[in-house]
Amino acid sequence: MLYFVKTPHIIKRAFPKLTWNIPTKEKVIYLTFDDGPTPEITPWVLSELKKYNAKATFFCIGKNVISHPDIVKEIIKNGSAIGNHTHNHVNGWKKTSRTYLKNIDKAQQIIDSEIKKHQKTILHSTISNLQSPIKNLFRPPYGKIKNSVAKILLGKGYKIIMWDVLSGDFDRSITKEKCLKNVINNTSEGSIVVFHDSIKASGNLKFLLPKILEYFSEKGYLFETIK
């Protein structure tokens, strides 16, 4: 399985309108989780984040949002953000632009509806400055998106969020220790780091996440949502 752990600068320069990292001199890292929510792993992720007052951005699959609305509510209560990861994890290179955009729209309608259902209650029952989790963020599954589709989404006001560091938690051919090194050796101020709150990645993630939260917290880093 071939992939870049650290996104090369040449790729970032080739696609400058996509968001690869958040330029900053502050000690801030942006943890992101793809493919959820899943009852087997997402609640555990939220529990680990809470230990460090950490926020993250969850790129959710529309059909999973339908299946697990209570977990969506917990993501909002955590103060984390929710982004769109298509309705059923579609490869953008293998579908027509029209079909792909419809899939994204379907997921967004579901996500927005579910968030609004819970948001008013949560805002009244928690801190008054809790930010809205609706951010119009989109991450293409597999990182694959046609330029023509990207232009349309950007025109609609979406931010297309890629990544600076890929943990490799989904890769069963590498060790948990290798996944940990992938993140620790490549993450710096403003990095967007990809994990997966999926069953497939859960073995690696349960090893990785507590260690990463502890390591960077001890170095004075904060974990924030993508805005």
Catalytic residue (one of 9, 34, 87, 197): 34
Residue 34 is a catalytic residue: yes
Q: Is-contact 133 149, C-beta < 8 A?
A: no
Q: Is-contact 201 170, C-beta < 8 A?
A: yes
Amino acid identity of residue 110, one-letter, is I
Q: For residue 187, give the nearest of 160, 154, 211 by alpha carbon.
A: 211
Q: Is-contact 41 198, C-beta < 8 A?
A: yes
Distances (CA, A) of 57 to 10, 45, 48, 170, 196: 25, 12, 14, 18, 11
Q: Which residue(s) pair with 222 in the sheet?
A: 28
Residue 196 is a catalytic residue: yes
Quick one: which H or E segment has residue 105?
Answer: helix 97-125
DSSP 202-213: HHHHHHHHHHHH
Amino acid identity of residue 169, one-letter, is D
Amino acid identity of residue 101, one-letter, is L
Q: Which two tokens stand for residue 11?
A: 């790729």
Catalytic residue (one of 85, 118, 196, 197): 196
201 Rama sector, left if φ>0, alpha if ψ -120 to 50, beta otherwise: alpha
Distance CA 202, CA 130 (A): 29
- Where in the sequence numbering do the catalytic residues fall? 34, 196
